[in-house]
């Protein structure tokens, strides 16, 4: 059955006049991962329709046959960006070292920055490209340096930590975006050895670097970061950083963070209060019930809704009375908020008992 289905798909790819059907055949051939499809798919990289070329490149990446490497490298010159991006992804999937220099050339040809498809592909090729990518840290173009940081992160190789950590010590007058990229890459690597550099980055002069460092620490999950994140929650002057700190502390379920998070329910910024409410719901500590009950009267509707959900998550019966009082309060006229109160009461098994 498989043999005949593959034969039919190859026939469609080669002979059908409908471009959409040829593209669909290429996609399905990639899913079959059959070696017989490689040469027809290579030929389809020259199809007149971009969607067929894109599907063929993606299929060749899924199959992973090294015969496709040189034709894919040639297809990096395709006139359509989405086709070129599919080709880069395919080269990353195959992981052949012949693709390293062409992908670096793609960085220099405009596909650079943190979101670079070529950078992710280089990362997927792995440590064999590490030294060459580290060399790009000296490039005169900041976007290429940031793409190199992303590539090192995607490699997930502990040897990448040292050059990325060194970047985090750049002086403040240098482009903060490179430090932000290095902090993000360390989170992708997900190694304990990245914790100390990221803790240093929490003191960076730019808020975006500090926020990215918090995200990366959240990915790694080091308990050594709890106190520094609490300090960021309590004292950082930028809303986004405080929000990030609250979010990560909730993600970790840190009991040490409960009191600081309850204090953050009094933050002047609604986004911070919202993050603190959600974090307390994630931690599910009963001592937060009274503070969350107070948040049911927050001036911002989304905070009130989140507080109701958090009380339901904690599941303590002490949340029932404040939820019912908030539901019955004639000043609460927001339909969605009232529904959130009702849903929380139902979760606590109390709706209909009053």
Give the list of residues 6+ apart from residue 338 with CB closer than 8 angstroms, or none.
327, 332
pLDDT on residue 204:
96
- Place 351 in a pLDDT band, splitting at 50, 70 and 90: confident
Round to whole Å and give the CA distance between 120 and 129.
12
pTM more than 0.75? yes
HSE (CB half, 13 Å, CA atoms) of 21? 11
CA distance linking residue 338 with residue 100, whole number of Å = 57
pLDDT at 131 over 90: yes
Is 354 exposed, middle or buried, given 0-12, 13-18 or 19+ CB atoms closer than 10 A?
A: exposed
> What's the mean pLDDT when you consider all of the chain?
94
354 DSSP 8-state letter: -
Structure confidence at residue 354 as a pLDDT band (50, 70, 90): low
Instruction: Give Cα 60 to chain centroid, integer Å.
Output: 26
Alpha carbon of 93 to those of 128, 132, 262, 349: distances in Å?
14, 19, 46, 51
Residues 6+ apart with CB under 8 A from 263: 234
What fold does the segment set 1-122 form as a domain?
1.25.10
Instruction: For 157-206, write each residue's pLDDT tens digit.
Output: 999 999 999 999 998 888 899 999 999 999 999 999 999 999 999 999 99
Residues 263 and 234: beta-carbon distance below 8 Å: yes
The whole-angstrom separation of Cα 22 and Cα 189 is 39
Nearest to 263 by CA among 288, 297, 238, 240: 288
Residue linked to tokens 């909730």? 250
């Amino acid at each position: 059955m498989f043999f005949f289905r593959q034969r039919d798909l190859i026939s469609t790819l080669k002979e059908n006049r409908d471009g959409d059907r040829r593209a669909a055949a290429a996609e399905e051939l990639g899913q079959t991962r059959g070696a017989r499809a490689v040469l027809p798919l290579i030929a389809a990289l020259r199809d007149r329709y971009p969607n067929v070329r894109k599907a063929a490149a993606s299929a060749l990446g899924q199959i992973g046959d090294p015969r496709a490497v040189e034709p894919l490298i040639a297809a990096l010159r395709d006139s359509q960006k989405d086709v070129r991006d599919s080709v880069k992804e395919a080269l990353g999937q195959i992981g052949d070292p012949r693709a390293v220099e062409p992908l670096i050339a793609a960085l220099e040809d405009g596909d650079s920055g943190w979101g670079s498809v070529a950078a992710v592909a280089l990362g997927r090729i792995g440590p064999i490209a590490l030294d060459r990518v580290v060399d790009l840290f000296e490039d005169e173009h900041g976007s290429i340096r940031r793409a190199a940081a992303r590539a090192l992160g995607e490699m997930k190789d502990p040897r990448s930590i040292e050059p990325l950590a060194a970047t985090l010590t750049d002086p403040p007058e240098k482009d903060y975006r490179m430090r932000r990229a290095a902090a993000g890459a360390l989170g992708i690597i997900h190694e304990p050895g990245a914790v100390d550099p990221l803790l240093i980055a929490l003191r960076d002069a730019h808020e975006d670097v500090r926020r990215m460092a918090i995200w990366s620490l959240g990915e790694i999950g080091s308990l050594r970061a709890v106190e520094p994140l609490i300090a960021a929650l309590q004292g950082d002057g930028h809303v986004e950083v405080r929000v990030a700190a609250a979010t990560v502390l909730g993600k970790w379920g840190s009991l040490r963070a409960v009191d600081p998070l309850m204090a953050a329910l009094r933050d002047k910024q609604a986004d911070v209060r919202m993050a603190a409410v959600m974090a307390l719901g994630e931690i599910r500590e009963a001592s937060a019930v009274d503070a969350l009950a107070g948040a049911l009267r927050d001036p911002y509707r989304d905070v009130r809704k989140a507080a109701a959900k958090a009380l339901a998550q904690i599941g303590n019966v002490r949340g029932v009375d404040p939820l019912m009082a908030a539901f019955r309060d004639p000043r609460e006229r927001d339909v969605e908020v009232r529904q959130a109160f009702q849903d929380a009461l139902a979760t606590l098994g109390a709706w209909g008992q009053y």
